[in-house]
Amino acid sequence: MNERQRIATALLALRIAVFIVMFMWTLDKFVNVTHASRVFENFYGLRGFGPGIMAAIGVAELLLILAFVVGYQKWFSYAGVLILHGMSTLSSYRQYLDPFNNLLFFAAWPMLAACVALYLLRDLDTKWTVARGRPATF
């Protein structure tokens, strides 16, 4: 593998890993609406999100992360994932103040770094992506 292929492979690995986490968070909005509503209430201060609103948020998020995982409209989809995860990471600030009772929250930081790297290197992220409506080189 040459350098460009190694970079593309590394970025693909990051993109798939970020997608898996985001996909599980998205599924939570459909499968466990009560939990998803509590997350919105506890971390974002947003109350009263029932099944309809959670489903709408879930559909929008699903469309975004599907675009992200296939590398479609990278400027928009990679930025969207970065913003969503950035908000999630920063809204958990209280958990970082009590680190040894909230160690799992610290996993958000390497994922945020992966989102930043993917956004900044989006033009080099070419493996298994859609480019201008057609598949790019594999």
**What would the 3-class secondary structure string for the chain be?**
CCHHHHHHHHHHHHHHHHHHHHHHHHHHHHHCHHHHHHHHHHHHCCCCCCHHHHHHHHHHHHHHHHHHHCCCCHHHHHHHHHHHHHHHHHHCHHHHCCHHHCHHHHHHHHHHHHHHHHHHCHHHCCCCCEECCEECCC
pLDDT in the model for residue 114: 98
Q: What is the mean pLDDT of the chain?
A: 94
The answer to pTM > 0.75 is yes
Mean pLDDT value of segment 41-59: 95
Q: Which two tokens stand for residue 25?
A: 């968070």
pLDDT score, position 69: 98
